[in-house]
Amino acid sequence: MIKAVRGTRDLLPPETTLWNFVESAVRDVFRAYNFQEIRTPIFESTELFARGVGEETDIVAKEMYTWEDRGGTLSNKFGEFLDWAEKNRGSTGPINTPKIVDEYFTAEGWKGQSLTLRPEATAGIVRAYIEHKLGDRGLNKLYCIGPMFRRERPQKGRYRQFYQIDAEIIGPPSAGSESPARDAEVLEMLATLLDRLGISGWNLELNSVGCPKDRAAFNEALRKALDPVRDKMCVDCQRRAVTNPLRVFDCKVPEDQPIIDKLPRISQFLDEGCRKHFEAVQEILTKVGVRFSLNDRLVRGLDYYTRTAFEFTHGALGAQNAILGGGRYDGLSEALGGPAAPGIGFAIGEDRLVMSLQESTSAEGVVKKPDVYVAPLGAGMDGEAARLARELRRHDLVVDLGDENFRLKKSFEAATRAGTKYILIVGENEVKADAFALKNLATGEQVSVPRAELPRRIQE
Ligand code: HAM
């Protein structure tokens, strides 16, 4: 038997109903804050993530699904080559071979491009922002929902294909993209969304990771502090201590934690501007009544963050307890070759969100059961039943439709399994009378109802 690949899974009904429930609440809430949907490709050039997310992060260093595209450039060029050959067919005099022909026959032309399945959405969205000059529109409030891919060790709440609900506010500084009001708006929106979904018991952990200048000073201090102790740490930390000391805070090895606890914290290195910005975010949150706790160990696993960084955790999730994470990335657009475009955003792990939702809501509870099961009875009744089902569905009723080859007992079993309230019998006598036997499966009550009255009777 061929099974789903390790770390991937099938989402089956009725659980998919919970996913739809979440996504429709998300779309409603985001709409109220004037966010609009963006859809970017599931794979991008590898360089985007290397430069955007950071070479030293776990994601880029060990978790990406990367491959060299087979003859990607070659097949593009082949088309151009054929066009050129077609145009010059039959010509006698000397032909100037265009550059494309040279490229086609050189090794360069045969080399594939390095591509990567997106491990996260922000880099792709910022690429699209730059590519389509979205800054001309002022402030952009964008969201996307879709699969992401990381080659992590699968465990509860951690998959190799998982889903994110990602939202970003990004724009030129003149559009107010740097304002702490945007950070607070995003955080308040998240609190509203979780409340709306009925998820309680979440905790918002907040930190400021400062600006690049602060981080340079912090990195220096970390390097110094790590120098005498790094030999006692795990191999990853020994490497991080030299290449990117901030990443030491991502370490999950229990033996390293007492050492990490004693390291300096970014909060001691924030400059005046970053401190004020962070205070303003906290002030607004307090004013609107969103609870948070400060955590100055929170540095997040991606390199692009500046200033505000945050995570929402939930007790029911076990070791992988972050439902969502995000923060500000004021220099990302420039790092990708774009204009200054400060931004803030987050990604919710949808798999984890659904898991925390399952604490309080069962999939069965949100599934809309069919209103009626239409049971054709006897030869030639499939068409009559289909016509009736079509009429009822046009009245927004959820209708399940049987098969004229089923005996009545089998139709009743199918209706009961589907959980419908009514079964509607469509037999020769009913068609003649244009009135149909409608039976309430819970009470057993059966009445004959004229065709025109059926929608109203079933809706009751
Ligand atoms: P992240 O913290 O890497 O941030 O991921 C966000 C969320 O995705 C996590 O909190 C978690 O719920 C979920 N997640 C991550 N990896 C997995 C996995 N292997 N299995 C299941 N769920 C997972 C980002 O991705 C940033 N792009 C967020 C952001 C947007 N920052 C600014 N804008």
**Could you state, in chain order, the average pLDDT of each consecutive group of 10 residues for the chain (460 residues)?**
97 94 97 98 97 91 92 61 75 67 61 92 98 98 98 95 98 98 98 93 95 92 94 93 89 92 94 97 98 93 94 82 96 97 98 90 84 97 98 97 96 96 97 97 97 95
Measure 349 CA to ligand 1 centroid, in angstroms: 6
Measure 81 CA to ligand 1 centroid, in angstroms: 43
Query: Which protein residue has the closest C-alpha to ligand 1 atom 11?
Result: 349
Please tell me the predicted confidence (pLDDT) of residue 86: 78
Measure 31 CA to ligand 1 centroid, in angstroms: 22
Measure 59 CA to ligand 1 centroid, in angstroms: 11
**pTM to 2 decimals?**
0.88
Please tell me the predicted confidence (pLDDT) of residue 365: 79
Beta bridge partners of 314: 202
354 CB under 6 A from ligand 1? Answer: no
353 CB under 6 A from ligand 1? Answer: no
Question: What is the best residue among 49, 148, 183, 199 to mutate for testing ligand 1's pocket, by most ligand atoms within 8 Å of CB?
Answer: 148
Please tell me the predicted confidence (pLDDT) of residue 107: 58
Question: What is the best residue among 324, 330, 355 to mutate for testing ligand 1's pocket, by most ligand atoms within 8 Å of CB?
Answer: 324
Q: Apex CA 46: angle with CA 43 and CA 47, to 5°?
A: 135
Please tell me the predicted confidence (pLDDT) of residue 439: 98
303 CB under 6 A from ligand 1? Answer: no
Asked whether the beta carbons of 412 and 418 are under 8 A apart, the reply is no
